[in-house]
Copies of this chain bind each other. A is one copy, B any other.
Amino acid sequence: MTVQSLIDQHRPTLDRALEAIRTREFWSHFPESIKEQPEEAAEQGRRAFEARLTSTDAQGSQGTERSPYGLPLGVTYPHHSPDELIAAAQPGQRAWRDAGPEARAAISIEILERLHRRSIEIAHAVMHTSGQAFGMAFQAGGPHAQDRALEAVAYAYAEMTRHAERARWEKPAGRRGPLVMEKRFTVVPRGIALVIGCNTFPTWNSYPGLFASLATGNSVIVKPHPRAVLPLAISVEVAREVLAEYGFDPDLVQLAAEREGEKLAADLALRPEIRIIDFTGSTGFGEWLEASARQAQVYTEKAGVNAVVVDSTSDYAGMLANLAFSLSLYSGQMCTAPQNLLIPRDGIATDAGPKTFDEVTADLAAAVGQLLGDDKRAVEILGAIVSDDVVARLDRAPSLGDPVLASHAITHPAFPNAVIRTPAIVAVDAKRREVFGAECFGPVAFAVQTASTAHSIELFREVTGQRGAITASVYSADPAVLAEMEEAAQDAGVALSENLTGAVYVNQSAAFSDFHATGANAAANSSLTDGAYVAGRFRIVQVRKHA
């Protein structure tokens, strides 16, 4: 198959994606239902994953991964120094640049199509590194991540092709006749891009940057989180396979697996050849990258504090069920999960009558209990705890205020060593900013007792202004409160969900429709994905001459 036939083949997908990023209506290219995978895929994917567990690389680093489900992993990966990675990244760059936007978009989409066919293998890898339950690992780590990547490819393509490639410039000049110039405008990549992955969403959070940089002509070095290498190792493998198949240098996409404690990301980030960095992770390292990697365009998603302003509701049961799910899903280990529930001390009006602060929190605790009452179902929602740090925070939670809901351990029916915990809810007074004013990553929610909804909104403004947020949410039956909250969300620069009482959760961010993060607050300096996310990944170099 030639590159041109690949371009023709994927053109309809690209065109449809270009429409979707404009309308922002529902669209998905990669089916999220596991049932749409071929019949044999489940078995094949599982076997492919299992085969990897015994693989070792002669030059391999020590394996740095461990499954939150207790499955022995022991996968090792080749290790390369920054010098080796950077040297290998360069030879293929010119041909990749010269291939042009169409070819790069088509190759990118081909990589995604093949990743889609590997979704089950990747799902197992995501599950056993992030701790996500298998169903979520499949969706978020597979089709949803692939859709987000396709969205980034569409933005990159749109941005690279918004100008003509060539122009005839004909300026009237009176009697002398026009001045006529031929101009050519070439998309030139910035150089080498570094993608620094996170532990919880190794593919979903890394693909947009990876594919935005690749489609715009850059060489990409993928540095996974040491605890979540395999999903990206498989992804890089697939990308390299496609690149090589179409005559490009596979080293345009490289895996940079690191040894325990090596600090490879920091070493690479300061190299002058690294011109783009995409990072998801801690605020500390994200801010260090922003301040230190001055030679690069740095895109960061860091920690935030997500709030729910609870004012009133016309669907009390729906609100409780929705919030219970949001707090429980993947044990709150999502950058989109709510942390602070801001509830007036005098309680709220509901369709089930007025509810005091204590009633609301108790009813929410009961809703969580009901949702997670069956262990077998519970583990499919909760997933496993990703790290000891999260367990430690959870263990400390009751001491931070008045426990409303205690966390307890659950035994996974298939993985007896899995670390699984139900969420904790702790009531605190609004004065305790030191408790709820920073991110407490994991299944800990604070029910913050405020003086009034106005006070809740004020607190939301303050904490978001200081710490940032990826999501915000409000429950109110009062249009004036919704309007006020919308104003506050715009001022604070955070996306707002209103009155979610059904099967859409504040944690969810849909590709092609929801802008994930805004870049307008401290939690992230950019959105995944929009024009600003791709426009700086390349430059335009022109040549002009007389016609």
Contacts and interface: CB of A to CB of B under 8 A. Distances in A.
A115 to B, nearest CB: 22
Given A164-B24, A513-B167, A545 B498 contact: yes
A88 interface: no
Contact of A503 (B168, B179, B188, B520): B179
A162 B23 contact: no
A514 B542 contact: yes
A387 interface: no
Nearest to A28: B171
Contact of A489 (B22, B494, B543): B543
A217 to B, nearest CB: 11
A358 to B, nearest CB: 28
A21 interface: yes
Interface stretch (A122-130, A223-231, A242-250, A530-538): A530-538
A185 interface: yes
Nearest to A25: B167
Contacts of A450: none
Interface string A190-211: 1000000000000000000000
A301 interface: no
Indicate the member of A23, A97, A531 with the most B CB atoms within 10 Å: A531
Interface in A484-532: 486, 489-490, 493-504, 510, 513-515, 518-520, 527, 530-532
Nearest to A504: B179
Nearest to A159: B531
A478 to B, nearest CB: 14
A10 interface: no
A352 interface: no
B539 A536 contact: no
B24 A183 contact: yes
A456 to B, nearest CB: 17
Contacts of A544: 495-498, 504, 514
A27 to B, nearest CB: 9
A366 to B, nearest CB: 24
A170 B489 contact: no
A58 interface: no
B513 A541 contact: no
A114 interface: no
A47 interface: no
Indicate the member of A290, A498, A503, A546 with the most B CB atoms within 10 Å: A546
A181 interface: yes
A26 interface: yes
A541 B524 CA distance: 13
Nearest to A500: B546
Contact of A542 (B167, B496, B536): B496
B543 A181 contact: no
A283 to B, nearest CB: 14
A543 B536 CA distance: 27
Contact of A504 (B163, B294, B515, B546): B546
Contacts of A328: none
A163 B541 contact: no
A431 interface: no
Contacts of A500: 545-546
A163 B533 CA distance: 14
Contacts of A179: 502-504
Given A532-B536, A543-B498, A515 B23 contact: no
Given A290-B294, A541-B518, A546 B170 contact: no
Given A24-B163, A188-B493, A520-B539, A513 B546 contact: no
Contacts of A164: 22-25
A176 interface: yes
A540 interface: yes
A291 interface: yes
Interface string A31-52: 0000000000000000000000
A364 to B, nearest CB: 20
A168 B513 CA distance: 10
A186 interface: yes
Given A25-B164, A532-B539, 17 more contacts: A22-B162, A22-B164, A23-B167, A24-B167, A26-B171, A159-B531, A169-B510, A176-B503, A179-B503, A183-B513, A291-B294, A495-B541, A495-B543, A495-B544, A497-B543, A515-B540, A535-B536
15 contacts: A24-B163, A24-B164, A26-B169, A167-B513, A179-B502, A179-B504, A188-B490, A291-B294, A493-B541, A496-B541, A496-B542, A514-B544, A518-B540, A519-B536, A527-B540
3 tightest A-B CB contacts, nearest first: A532-B535, A520-B539, A498-B545
